[in-house]
Amino acid sequence: MKPNVPELGAALSTCRSALVSLVVVSGLLSVLYLTASFFMLVISDRILPSRSVPSLVGLVLLALMLYGFQAALEALRGRILTRISAVLDDCLSQRVFHVMVRNTLSGTAPGAGHLPLRDLDQIRGFLGSSAPAALCDLPWMPLYFGICFLFHPLIGLATVSGALLLVGITVIADRLTRGPSKIASEHGQRRSTITDAGCRNADVLIAMGMQDHFAGRWEDANQNYLLAQQRVADVAGSSSAVSKAARMALQSGVLAIGAYLVIYDKSSPGIIIASSILLGRALAPLDATIANWKGVIAAQQSWTRLTALLAKMPAAQHNGSLPVPMHLVKVEGLSVAPPGSTRLTVKDASFTVKAGQALAVTGPSGSGKSTLVRALVGILPAARGSIRLDTVPMTQWASTDLGRHIGYLPQEVSLFAGTVAQNIARFTPDATRAEIEAAARQAGVHDLIQRLPEGYDTELGEGGLGLSGGQRQRIGLARALYGSPFLLVLDEPNASLDGDGDTALTDAILGARARGGIVIVVAHRMSALAGVDLMLTMEAGEIQAFGPKDEVLRRIRRPAPSQPVPAQNDRAPARTAGQVPMRIVESA
């Protein structure tokens, strides 16, 4: 794709030949639509006066042949539009999915997260509807106006005046509906946000009796949405009624003009019928456009939103020439802000972790630990500073390429609908059972999986439904270990683990170090520190200490000279001046 060319436009440009064919077919159809008018004109002015049956038969056969061509071209135009919509979807569907996922991480409300996909569906549905055919017919309206003027200037003037009247009605309807349509879309997004939140937190709503309160919020949003939709429907319905009445009045007016011309011998009787049919055909594209105007506006808004979003999030360029990271992870002056905020929650962090080392990141809640590790795996962009894998900045990696070298276990482990094996293998199509079992053994979860009803082929519900929190966490750890990634990032990996799970976690960390990987663990419990050799503590987004684990722990636990040493209890050391703040809970 050329730079500065909108991706939607570039996708349509791949259908250039189909678009040219669409224009040609529309032109031919515009000529064939004249068949009915000229058929009635010849019948009235030639066949009836001559009383020639052979001429009538020949005329009917010719008309039938032309109607057959018309039907074939109509079907062809519909197929062309359907294929164009399919090509557009094929070019953009995966791209839109990636943007939708990234857009959710940028602070977009959950209900609006699906909006890019809905916009693409709206555009594709519009291309497959009757509206584009009507728009393709609009440029050929002057042909009908010209023929009406050939019948008589008064008939031509009446036809043009009627067309201008319908255009005026359409413009007014557009101005009156554009604002309410936008408001309705916003209320619809808010309603979707509340719906998604209710579905995600159904257990909380039910357990604490919050359904009625939440339903009230949803009802308010729903009423606002329905009122906005009602305003749009009222304006659209009124404009449609006015345009329909105007069209019928115009049809009668043209018949009256034709009768007047016949009375004064300025036209033939056939002109009355032919001009009436021709008027209907001339105004048909306008009628169809007005009937589909709501869809036209919706498609235009979707096109604008999607174009802006795709431009805001350009496609990542795959760079297969980047070397496989093998030596270190280097963070230099890294500052990170959470999605949708300018407040930095990680400030000027700098440290280096080498192959075979494991780093524990500790600190009180809200100190920026999770933000730091989310930046390390490429979820959050750096406000300033850099993260390097060996000598390569992380920003040079495409997400798909980088993902092969990273294993990530988030605080809230979410598995996907599918088998246990598919979840561990990250849904890689060509994953082998040996690779899957190797990852499970590294996570110490192989025996647990074997005890499931169908082992690795056990089907899981969305979110890992059917498993306990500890089981989900251990399968999530196996997923992170799949493929032996160079960088393994674990955010509070033992939050739901029992004693056996803690042991398996330590073995997994030691195993990753032994093969030359790097492990970074966010820890709140001492048991998570068993397999690490480095430690980093944070407070208020800043690094307070970094170095060998034992050295940092001694610094944390060293009491101030003016205070007595706590007796019989080292689980909650007092914080003193110059001491690094730390909150670690030892496992029982």
Nearest-CA neighbor of 487 among 397, 365, 586, 384? 397
Q: Tell whether 269 and 388 lie within a shared domain.
A: no
Assess if residue 586 is contained within a domain: no
Sign of the torsion angle spanned by Cα atoms 489, 516, 399, 416: negative
Radius of gyration of the chain, Cα coordinates, nearest whole angstrom:
35
Q: Tell whether 272 and 408 lie within a shared domain.
A: no
Q: For residue range 214-243, what is the model confidence (pLDDT) as tens digits?
A: 788 888 888 888 888 888 888 777 877 887
CATH of the domain at 246: 1.20.1560.10
Nearest-CA neighbor of 119 among 304, 292, 293? 304
Rounded CA-CA distance 29/288 in Å is 16
Assess if residue 580 is contained within a domain: no
Q: Tell whether 337 and 252 lie within a shared domain.
A: no
Tokens read off for 158:
């009446």
Q: Tell whether 202 and 336 lie within a shared domain.
A: no
Beta 518-522 vs 406-409: how paired, if at all? unpaired
Tokens read off for 371:
């933000």
Q: Tell whether 197 and 304 lie within a shared domain.
A: yes
At position 225, the amino acid (one-letter code) is: Y
**3-state class (DSSP) for residue 13:** helix
Listing DSSP states for 439-457 in one string gives HHHHTT-HHHHHTSTTGGG
Assess if residue 567 is contained within a domain: no
Higher per-residue pLDDT: 289 or 512 = 512
CA 560 to chain centre: 55
Please say whether the beta carbons of 464 and 415 come within 8 A.
yes
Q: For residue range 492-551, what is the model confidence (pLDDT) as tens digits?
A: 887 767 777 778 888 888 988 999 999 999 887 777 788 888 999 988 889 888 989 888
Q: CB under 8 Å to 62, separation ≥6 — which residues?
A: none
Rounded CA-CA distance 416/426 in Å is 10
The structural domain count of the chain equals 2
pTM: 0.67
Q: Tell whether 274 and 381 lie within a shared domain.
A: no
Confidence of residue 335 (pLDDT cuts 50, 70, 90): very high
Higher per-residue pLDDT: 57 or 561 = 57
Q: Tell whether 420 and 274 lie within a shared domain.
A: no
Q: For residue range 152-171, what is the model confidence (pLDDT) as tens digits?
A: 888 889 888 888 888 888 78
Q: Tell whether 231 and 341 lie within a shared domain.
A: no
Range of the domain at 245: 7-308
Please say whether the beta carbons of 300 and 249 come within 8 A.
no
Q: CB under 8 Å to 304, separation ≥6 — which residues?
A: none
Please say whether the beta carbons of 29 and 74 come within 8 A.
yes
Please say whether the beta carbons of 194 and 219 come within 8 A.
no
Q: Tell whether 253 and 297 lie within a shared domain.
A: yes
Section 118-130 average pLDDT: 84
Query: 317: burial class by Cβ within 10 Å (0-12, 13-18, 19+)?
Result: exposed
Q: Which of 56-65, 124-133, 244-253, 541-550 has the highest mean pLDDT?
A: 56-65
Q: CB under 8 Å to 482, separation ≥6 — which residues?
A: 407, 424, 425, 426, 431, 435, 436, 439
Q: Tell whether 282 and 360 lie within a shared domain.
A: no
